Amino acid sequence: MKVIDLAPEHVDEYCLCLEEWSDEIREAGTHKRRWFEKHRDQGLRVKLAVDENGTAGGMIQYLPIEQSPAAGTGLYFVLCIWVHGYKQGRGNFRKRGMGTALLSAAEDDARALGAKGLAAWGVSLPFWMRASWFRKHGYRKADRMGMMALMWKPFREDAEPPAWIRPKKKPQGEAGKVVVTGLLSGWCPAMSLVHERARRAAAELGPAVEFREVRTDDRAAFLEWGMSDALFIDGKELRSGPPPKYARIRGKIARKLKKL
Ligand SMILES: CC(C)(COP(=O)(O)OP(=O)(O)OC[C@H]1O[C@@H](n2cnc3c(N)ncnc32)[C@H](O)[C@@H]1OP(=O)(O)O)[C@@H](O)C(=O)NCCC(=O)NCCS
């Protein structure tokens, strides 16, 4: 197994998070590709772990923290580390050291780029990126927002701990309609999936439901809202991780619509 930089021939599978077999990934649309095209020349780094046959089993993506959902200076931020763990498609690559090798390669790379440290998000629940996994790899908590821990590993003594950028505003409801607001960065297909399900449900439920998209890959929009990915039905946020099913999103909007 080795860790390599993302090359043009891997871009398609990277944009599908190595899950070309998954209908859900397709449902998430092309947002990740759009996000990638925008960020590839803005400091985004992507590495893949490939096995002895050259098959990619895992990936890590990180960028300067100044472009991430956290505030900090001179650090890099891991948006996502992912080792394919399903039987389908290319199969299960977990527990073979790919995750550890990817994180270690990202740390070496960030150091070589002059970064003062690496930060990452981790959750305290047993899904997605677990904070405990980073703790095991020498990271400690710099901040917390709900179940989202902000972990970091400083490389130098002058490194300052990062902090979450916090939500700054909420959408407002409007008389005579249901407003569904989707904030979307595009880098995570799981988030894009929720966004696209909400868009579809809003369209199906007719003209009294309005879907509004806020593209937070625009830094000014992200800073205005203080959130990168979220779904609101009028002023109420719908928890988007793990991704709610289409019927649940549609049901929530339909209930609001009935009350108009
Ligand atoms: C966290 C994650 C990246 C770890 O990947 P991984 O490749 O399985 O990690 P490693 O193989 O380096 O380590 C995992 C375990 O396997 C063990 N292991 C590593 N190589 C091994 C080997 N050859 N034989 C047996 N066990 C091994 C490690 O000791 C480690 O054990 P631990 O869990 O007790 O610490 C992976 O579980 C993952 O992708 N999780 C989901 C993260 C996610 O949701 N990302 C998307 C966010 S948008």
Q: What is the pLDDT of residues 245-259, one digit of tens each?
A: 999 999 999 999 999
For the chain, what is the mean pLDDT? 96
Does residue 193 sit in helix, strand or coil?
helix
pLDDT of residue 233 exceeding 80:
yes
Residue 117 makes CB contacts below 8 A (sequence gap 6+) with 74, 75, 76, 110, 152, 153, 154, 155, 156, 159
Closest protein CA for atom 41 of ligand 1: 128
**Quick check: 53 pLDDT over 90?**
yes
Question: Could you give all domains of the chain from N- to C-terminal order, each with its CATH number?
Answer: 2-164 (3.40.630.30), 178-258 (3.40.30.10)
Cα→Cα distances 154→104, 121, 180, 219, 224, Å: 14, 15, 40, 25, 29
Q: What is the rounded CA–CA span in Å between residue 249 and residue 182?
A: 12
What pLDDT shows up at residue 239?
A: 85
Question: What pLDDT is stored for residue 241 in this prediction?
Answer: 74
Q: Is the CB of 242 under 6 A from ligand 1?
A: no
Confidence (pLDDT) at 242 = 84
Tokens of 31: 């947002």
Contact 90, 55 (CB under 8 A): yes
241 CB near ligand 1 (under 6 Å): no
Mean of pLDDT values over 35-61: 96
Is residue 57 lining ligand 1, measured as CB closer than 6 Å? no
Residue 127 banded pLDDT, cuts 50, 70, 90:
confident
pLDDT (0 to 100) of residue 172: 87
pLDDT in the model for residue 124: 85
Ligand 1 contacts CB of residue 133 (under 6 A): yes
The reported pLDDT for the residue numbered 209 is: 97
Residue range 34-55: mean pLDDT, rounded? 96
pLDDT bucket at 214, cuts 50 / 70 / 90: very high
Least confident of 98-102, 216-220, 226-230, 238-242: 238-242
Residue whose CB lies within 8 A of the most ligand 1 atoms, among 100, 121, 128, 187, for a mutation test: 100
Ligand 1 centroid to Cα of residue 221, in Å, is: 35
Sign for the CA dihedral angle at 244, 27, 179, 226 comes to positive
Q: pLDDT, tens digit, for every residue of 97-106? A: 999 999 999 9
Q: Residue 122: CB within 6 Å of ligand 1?
A: no
Atom nearest to 83 CA in ligand 1: 39
- Can you give the pLDDT at residue 156? 97
pLDDT in tens, 141-194: 999 999 999 999 999 999 999 999 999 999 988 999 999 999 999 999 999 999
pLDDT digit string, tens, across residues 56-88: 999 999 999 999 999 999 999 999 999 999 999
Percentage of the chain beyond pLDDT 70 is 100
Q: What's the 138 CA to ligand 1 centre distance in angstroms?
A: 15
